[in-house]
Structure 1
Amino acid sequence: MILPCLPSMRLDGRRALVTGAGRGIGLAAAAALAQVGAHVTLAARTADEIGAAAQAIEAEGGQAAPLVLDVTDTAAVRTAIGAQPAFDVLVNNAGTNRPRTFLEVTEDDYDTITGLNQRAAYFVAQAVARRMVDAGRGGSIIHVSSQMGHVGGQNRTVYCMTKHGIEGLTKAMAIDLAPHGIRVNSIGPTFIETPLTKPFFENVPFREDVLRRIKLGRLGTVEDLMGAVVFLAGDAAALVTGTSLLVDGGWTAE
């Protein structure tokens, strides 16, 4: 009897780009991909952070390089990605939020959140996908979305709107890019403890409400997302495209 063989989780010889890679989810995604053999380019505006992160990855035997880049600058994105060898994996992670009630959202809030979470994500993905198509070897694009791309959330109208948009983009991109062997999926985390979210949890009623909604009873950690990134990036997910992998502790189960 010949048993089926589990596809390798390794990414040796592949190139990955992670945006917003200096801290939090982006840094964890970069570390995860490097730990399974990928060469990882860490992109962010903060040269010191991504430089230190790349050095830390290399100190552990990985391959990494920093790329100082403002992903909201579409021309700079096209130039920077066009100057790189084609990537096999994109983790489209850069994002932000400014929690406010719907009645208090300003135009600057709206423009800042949509500009990074949606517009920048769109054109980063487009630039990377064009190079993938030119290279002709397929690839995997992973949008870091949110559980809030599937439900609503208090004081998060603009954020929810952008993440629902990313879920629609994921499905439509998957259809367009499937003939090129490029898979497109999203990851939908629950609340993860990162430098961005830490101030929110200092509000005790908010923290208690979040923990009540996460059925597993705890906040997420960046380590909770690393396996999802590696899975979607590699051959084990060869037939997975146009969908969302929710890492939400059961938040959206009801």
Structure 2
Amino acid sequence: MQFENILIQNKGRIRYIIINRESKLNALNQFTLAELHDAFAAAFEDESVGGIIITGAGKKAFAAGADIAEFEKIDIDGGRQMARNAQHNVFNFIVNSTKPVIAAINGFALGGGLELAMACHLRTAAFNAKLGLLEVTLGLIPGYGGTQRLTQLVGRGKALELIMTADMITAGQALEIGLVNSIAEPDELMPETEALLERILTRAPLAIAAAIKCVNATGDSGQNGFETEIEAFAACFGTEDFGEGVAAFIQKRKPQFKGK
């Protein structure tokens, strides 16, 4: 599959999805969002792919927000449709993936770019990265899930502060408040992100998928998270991977999971 604004790279079981609009600081226009949907759909369907790392081309930006030039002629109905399409096709699509997705934040992650990173299951960041939701400076609010996911990650008070001030924060500050999982020197960001994902990929894939589903249920008012966990826990007992995990533990060897 060929893309105009996306680069795809494979490294073992890791699929890299790279936003390739370096001259625009990897801003997320509608065409790029559509390509992101297709790129993630292909990765989720490919059995050779165990997990995904998404990052931005170059050293300046992960994704510096939406492409503001597209907003100029959008009315209320258009804004509603834009947000709904992006949520369904990209952001929620990532959140509900059964494969782990890590955002490697290699520079600016602003507005829609930070919302994209927050939709991923984990976030790593370079020491020089800057993060923020700047929408109120345009007379807008985050529209791709930012108000909800930031609150889940850092709490109501801090989320309101960051959204209402539109302040950018450093990677170190993001680590302190729980917005990112780890930080690294710029040259070490990708190796350390790969190492994190490789550790995850040694675990049972069906159990990883079940864990993602259960954690997501905590933010879904339509689900009882405890019941979701109970059912997912029970289902694990019917998998071949459970048998392999127990056998490997007893035999004091590393398990060989097959995702079955």
* TM-score for both structures, normalised by structure 2: 0.32
Does 1 or 2 have the higher relative contact order (CA < 8 Å, sep 6+)? Answer: 1
